[in-house]
Structure 1
Amino acid sequence: MPKLPDFNDDDELATWFDTHDSAPYMDDMKEAEEKFEVIRTAFVTRPVDVRLRSDYLEAIQEVAERKGVPYQILVQTWLLEKLTQEAPDLVPQ
């Protein structure tokens, strides 16, 4: 069973684990004793029906495809950008 190398800092450790299979080293590892609180970061979303002209939707979908994102995410991003411009005090933190 191979031994884990010594690391100078957490970044070096993380880089090593990003580039190596950790399975052969499982017996050398200790269970973490620290407890972490899970913080919910996802926001509750609700579906919204919006009527758009077909050509608008097609253009939005084309822009989203060029950017490599789903068109729904692109629309959300654009809405948030405009809301931030128009009413920054209403943008949830």
Structure 2
Amino acid sequence: MSRPRKTVPEFKSEAEERAFWETHDSSEYLDLSQAVPTSLPNLKPSTKTISLRLPVSLLERIKIEANKRDMPYQSLIKAWLAKDVEEKNKG
């Protein structure tokens, strides 16, 4: 059985709302069991920088292929990796 929720006050500004939520527990105001999943398809995915050691000859061949496609070689590597992972997940 869920407990009664407190009423969220009306805020005059974002700053006032921000100050309120910094000092109050949202679980006392929101019933997350009623939450609806949402999709945000236009958000740019976050990225993480990694170090990847490749043989020089392989890197040169990748750069040549990327040049043929008129795209940065790192973007080509990401595209290839994403495609391969997608194919592996389907099968």
TM-score, normalised by the number of residues in structure 2:
0.52
Residues 72-83 of structure 1 correspond to what in structure 2 (within 5 A)?
72-83=74-85
Structure of larger gyration radius: 2
> Which of 79, 86, 91 lines up with 1:84 in the alignment?
86
The structure showing larger relative contact order (alpha-carbon pairs under 8 Å, at least 6 residues apart) is: 2
Which residue matches 1:67?
69
Count of residues paired in the alignment? 52
Q: CA deviation at 1:40?
A: 5.3
Which residue matches 1:55?
57
User: Structure 1 stretches (4+) deviating beyond 3 angstroms?
Assistant: none
Please report the RMSD computed on the Cα atoms of aligned residues, expressed in angstroms: 2.1
Distance 1:65 1:86, change over 3 A: same
SS of the residue corresponding to residue 53 of structure 2 reads coil
SS of the residue corresponding to residue 72 of structure 1 reads helix
Query: Hey, what's the Cα distance between the residues in 1 that align with 2:67 and 2:83?
Result: 19
Distance 1:53 1:69, change over 3 A: same
The one-letter code of the counterpart of 1:78 is: W
Identity %: 25
Query: Hey, what's the Cα distance between the residues in 1 that align with 2:56 and 2:80?
Result: 18
* Structure 2, unaligned runs of 5 or more: 1-40
Residues 1-93 of structure 1 correspond to what in structure 2 (within 5 A)?
41-88=43-90
Q: CA deviation at 1:87?
A: 1.7
